[in-house]
Amino acid sequence: MTFEQLVPAPTSARWVPPTQGSFPLDDETALHAGPGTEGTARWLRSTVGAATGLRFPDGENDNGIVLRIDEGLAAEAYRLVVDGHAIRIEGGGAAGVFWGAQTFRQLLGPDAFRRAPLDPAREWTVPMVTVEDAPRFGWRGMMLDVSRHFMPKDGVLRYLDLLAAHKLNVFHFHITDDQGWRVEIKRHPKLTEVGAWRSRTRWGHRASPLWQEHPHGGYYTQDDIREIVAYAESLHITVVPEIDIPGHSQAAITAYPFLGNSDVVDTEAMTVWDSWGVSPNVLAPTEEVLRFYEGVFEEILDLFPSTFVHVGGDECPKDQWKASPTAQARIKELGVGDEDGLQSWFIRHFDRWLADRGRRLIGWDEILEGGLAEGATVSSWRGYRGGIDAAKAGHDVVMCPEQQVYLNFREDGGPDEPMPIAYVRTLEDVYRFEPVPAELTEEEAAHVIGTQANVWTEVMEHQGRVDYQVFPRLAAFSEVAWRELPAPAERDFADFERRMKAHYPRLDALGVDYRPPSGPLPRHLRPGVLGRPIEGAPPNV
C-alpha cells in the first residue's frame, strides 16, 4: 500500500529518500501522544491496534509513533512523516492529528480496517513517505434522514465511523419529519410515544401500490443522543440536528393536535404519515406553537452543542394557511403580507431565539422566501441558485444541490437498479461536482463554508440499502469536499478510479454493502417495486 492509493488524495505526498522503503511495526512499537492528542492515541489503539494485534505501549521518546500538535499548521491540517526513525503525525490541532491518523491507517492496507487480526503472526509495515495535507472546506458533511426509515443507534455510530474514515466532519441528523419523530423530548413525551410510530409504510415510490403492512418506527432517548454526540466528538465530527418547522410536521401534529391548523382540518383524526412526498399538514402560526417548539429547542440545545441548528423550512405548502381564519388573522396582525411572509416570520423568530442563546440557524433554501433572517445560513438543495443568492446577500451557504449530491438518486440507468429515483448520478458525476459556482466573486465565494451529500431514506428500508446508495459515491464526494480540485471537466477521474480499486477492499473490511462497479448483486435487487426514474441529464440550476 502506498500514498498513491489514498482516498481522498492528499495535497502533497512523496517518498522519503533515498529509497522507497518501509517502516516495520511490532509489539515494541511505542506510541507517544503529545498534549492534546490523547484522543487520537485512544482511537489508534482501539482501531488499528485491534486490527493488527499490536499493543502500541506508551512511549516517552521520538521513536515509534509520535503524535504532536504543531501550531504552525492550520487546525485541520496535518503532516505525516515516516522515515527510518519514527512515524510522526503532526496537526495544527487535535482534529488535524486525527485526520493524519486516518491517512496512516490507509497506508497500512485494508486489513487495518478490520476489528481483529486475520493473522497474528503477520508483519506490519508502513511505507516511508511524507504527506502534507489540509482540507478545502471547514464543513464537509453528510445528511442522514432517519425519519422516513429509522436507523438504530448502532447504525448511526457506524456511519460516524464511515464519515471519519473519509475525513468528513459534519453529520447532519434529520430527526423529525411527517413519517416519524425520532428524538425524546421529556416535556412533550407524546412526540415519541405517538409520533415515532406509523402503522404501515409505502413500499417504493409514493405512486407504488405496494405496502409493508407492519408498524415501523423508533427513536433515540436523550442518553442515546448524548452517546452519539460524544462519539462523534471523539471523531472530530459535529452533529447538526434538524427539527423541521413549519412544514414536514405531521408526526408532531399527530402527537399534539393543537400544533396543526385545526380550524380547517381535523387534526384529532391525523396519523403519522405512511407515504412519501410533501404533506399538506403544517404548523399553525400561533403563539402556543412557538412556545411548544421553544421548549423542544431548549432540550435540543442541551443535547447538541453544535453552533448550527437546522430548522428545515422547506416544502411548506400554504393551502391550509390560505384557508385558515386563524392564519389569515395572524398575517394581518403581524403585517407580513402573505403566506410566504408568515413562513419567514416563523424562521425569523427562531433565528432570533437561537442567536440569543449563542447558536446559528441554518435551513433549506426555501427560507429565502419572504425574506431571509439576518443571521441565517442556507443549505442550498434545489440547485445552486438559492446558495448563489444567499452568498451574494452576505449569508453563509452549505452547497448540497439535489441534481449533484443527493445520494438517494439512482447510480446507474440500468433496469436492475433497486427502486430507481430521479436522475442518474454516477460515481464520476459526483467526482465532477463543484461546490462553488464560477459566477461568485472571491468575496462571495468565501460565504460557501462547505458542502454536504444528502441521503433521504424513503426507499432505504434498512442499513444495507443505505450503504448501497451512499457508497462508493461518498468516497468521491469526500475528495471533492477535502481537496482543491481542477475544474470539473479537467479532473482525473481515471486516477480516482485507480485509487478506488484499493479503496473497495477497505470498504469490504468495514462491512459496507456498497454498489459494486459491475452493478447490483442479487441481494440488492427489488424487482417489481416502483421507483421514479427521470431520464436525461439534470438541469444545472
C-alpha cell at 522: 442479487
Query: How confident is residue 19, by pLDDT bands cut at 50, 70 and 90?
Result: confident
Instruction: Pick the closest to residue 370 from 296, 318, 445, 444 (CA basis).
Output: 318
Residue 55, classed as helix, strand or coil, is: coil
C-alpha cell at 269: 383524526
C-alpha cell at 22: 518501509
**Average pLDDT of the segment spanning 402-416:** 97
- C-alpha distance from residue 104 to each of 1, 98, 139, 165, 430 (Å): 11, 10, 23, 11, 26
Q: One of 172, 174, 236, 248 is an active-site residue; which one? A: 248
Residue 233 is inside which H or E element, if any? Answer: helix 222-234
Dihedrals φ, ψ of 152, to 5°? -60, 160
**Average pLDDT of the segment spanning 427-450:** 98
pLDDT at 370: 75
Residue 27 clears pLDDT 70, i.e. is over it: yes
pLDDT at 298: 98
Residue 143, classed as helix, strand or coil, is: strand
Q: Residue 397 gets which letter from DSSP?
A: E
CB 176 within 8 A of CB 146: no
- The backbone region for 516, taken as left when phi is positive above 0, alpha when psi lies in -120 to 50, beta otherwise, is beta
**Average pLDDT of the segment spanning 524-529:** 97
**Average pLDDT of the segment spanning 209-229:** 98
**Is 248 designated active site?**
yes
> What would you measure as the largest C-alpha separation in the chain, in angstroms?
80
Q: One of 132, 315, 340, 497 is an active-site residue; which one? A: 315
Rounded to the nearest integer, the mean pLDDT of the chain is 96
Cα radius of gyration rounded to whole Å, the chain: 24
Strands 201-202 and 211-212: antiparallel
Question: ω into residue 516 within 30 of 0, thus cis?
Answer: no
The neighbour count for residue 81, using CB atoms within 10 Å, is 18
Within 235-360, residue ranges assigned H as helices are 250-255, 287-303, 319-323, 325-334, 339-355
The amino acid occupying position 538 is: P
Dihedrals φ, ψ of 255, to 5°? -70, -40
Residue 431 is inside which H or E element, if any? Answer: helix 427-431
CB 386 within 8 A of CB 378: yes
Q: How far apart are CA 245 and CA 312, in angstroms?
A: 6
CB 280 within 8 A of CB 317: yes
Q: How far apart are CA 218 and CA 201, in angstroms?
A: 14
Query: How confident is residue 374, by pLDDT bands cut at 50, 70 and 90?
Result: confident
The amino acid occupying position 476 is: A
For 163-181, the pLDDT digits (tens) are 999 999 999 999 999 999 9
Looking at the chain, the whole-number percentage of residues with pLDDT higher than 90 is 95
Tell the residue number behind the cell numbers 482525473, with chain if given: 492
Query: How confident is residue 1, by pLDDT bands cut at 50, 70 and 90?
Result: low
C-alpha cell at 277: 412526498
* pTM for the predicted model, two decimal places: 0.98
- The set of long-range contacts for 461-464, using a CB threshold of 8 Å and a minimum separation of 24, is 461/149, 461/201, 461/212, 462/149, 463/151, 463/155, 463/158, 463/513, 464/513, 464/523
Query: How confident is residue 524, by pLDDT bands cut at 50, 70 and 90?
Result: very high
**Average pLDDT of the segment spanning 17-27:** 91
The neighbour count for residue 302, using CB atoms within 10 Å, is 12
Q: How far apart are CA 118 and CA 144, in angstroms?
A: 32
Q: One of 133, 177, 224, 242 is an active-site residue; which one? A: 177
For 35-65, the pLDDT digits (tens) are 999 999 999 999 999 999 999 999 887 779 9
Residue 82 clears pLDDT 60, i.e. is over it: yes
pLDDT at 63: 78
Q: How far apart are CA 18 and CA 22, in angstroms?
A: 12
CB 91 within 8 A of CB 114: no
**Is 177 designated active site?**
yes
C-alpha cell at 393: 446577500
pLDDT at 220: 99
pLDDT at 123: 95
Q: How far apart are CA 100 and CA 536, in angstroms?
A: 41
